[in-house]
Amino acid sequence: MKQKRDLLSLVEFSPEEIRAILTRAKEFKRSRLHKERKIFSNKTGVLIFEKPSLRTRITFETAIHELGGHAITLTSDMVGIGKRESAEDVARNLERWVHLIVARTYSHSTVEQLAEYSSIPVINALTDTFHPCQALAFAMTLDEYYGGKKKKKIVFIGDSNNVCNSIMVLCAKLGLDFTVACPPGYEPAPQVLNMAAAIAVKSGAHLAVSHDPAGALAGATALYTDVWTSMGQEKESEKRAKDFAAFQVNKKLMALAPADAVVSHCLPAHRGEEITSDVLDSERSIAFDEAENRLHVQKAVIDLLFS
C-alpha cells in the first residue's frame, strides 16, 4: 500500500519532486480542458478556511473539479477547529468520508495535526508560517520567463512572513540565491532561517538577510513583496506602516534592479503601500501570471499525492 504524503511546508519534498511538480504543472497548463488526467475521478476534497480567500479557494475548487473530483468548502465557523472540535477529531472524521483535506489556517500546528491524525493527504493552503503552493506558483512563473538560462537570485522585500518563508525554502531546495530585505526586527524566525540554511548547504544556494533594499537588488532576477500587515496582525498596522515605509516597491526602487528583473506579489495587494500600481501593472510584473499558475501547480500537487 502506498504511503500517505502531505504538502505542509515544501521541506518534506525533495528537489527532484519539486521539479517534477513544476514540470507536471506546465503539462496541465498546456493541456487544460483537452486531455486532462482524471487522477481525482470519483473523489472528494474538503477545503477548510479559517481565513478569507479568493485565489486559493477558486483555484483549488477548480483544480479538483477539472481533475474529475468534487470539492466541499467549509468556513471556520462551520468547523471551529480547536474550539468546537479538536483538529484530531476533525481529521479522524474526514478521513472516513473524503479523500483529501486542503486547509488554510492561522496556526501551522493545525495543519500538522490534521496530517498526523488523518490517513488521507493534507495540503497546506496557507498558515501563518508557510504558504507552499504560492512558492510553487512563483517558481513555475519564473521558469516560464527565464527557464534554466541563468542562475537566479530572488529578493524578497518587506515582512518575513509565510510567503517569504516558503520562497526561501523553495530557493534553498532548488539552489537559487535568496535575500530578504526587511526592517530590523522583521527578519525570518531563527528556526525557519536555520532550517533553510541547512538545506541550502546541499544545493549551493546562498541565503542572506539585509536591511538595505536598494543594496540587496544587485544581480536580482526577481523582486517579491507582500502586504506589510498579514491577516491577524491588524492591530500592528499603524506601526508596520512606519517601519516599512522605506521598503515600498516603486518605480524608483525598480530602477535600481537589473533591467530584466521581474517583480511579483502573492496578492491581494495593498496598492500604494508595499507596492505601487504603476509597478504592479507594469510589463515587468508577473503577479497575475503567478496567480493563474496557482491552479496548475495545485493540480500537479494533487497528481503527485494520488499517483
Which H helix or E strand runs over 71?
strand 70-75
Task: Say which residue the cell 524566525 belongs to.
Answer: 189
Radius of gyration (C-alpha) of the chain in whole angstroms: 19
Active site residues: 104, 131, 134, 226, 266, 294
Q: Exposed (0-12), middle (13-18) or buried (19+): which is 299, by Cβ within 10 Å?
A: buried
Going by their DSSP bridges, the two strands 122-124 and 207-210 should be labelled as unpaired
| Cell numbers found for residue 122 | 493534507
Distance CA 256, CA 44 (A): 48
The count of other CB atoms within 10 Å of the CB of residue 199 is: 22
| Cell numbers found for residue 193 | 532561517
Q: Is there a cis peptide before residue 268, judged by omega within 30 degrees of 0?
A: yes
Distance CA 266, CA 269 (A): 8
Residues 100 and 120: beta-carbon distance below 8 Å: yes
| Cell numbers found for residue 276 | 505601487
Q: At residue 25, what is the residue type? A: A
Distance CA 179, CA 32 (A): 35
Distance CA 292, CA 285 (A): 13
The count of other CB atoms within 10 Å of the CB of residue 256 is: 15
Through-space distance between the first and last CA atoms of the chain, rounded to whole angstroms: 12
Distance CA 283, CA 61 (A): 29
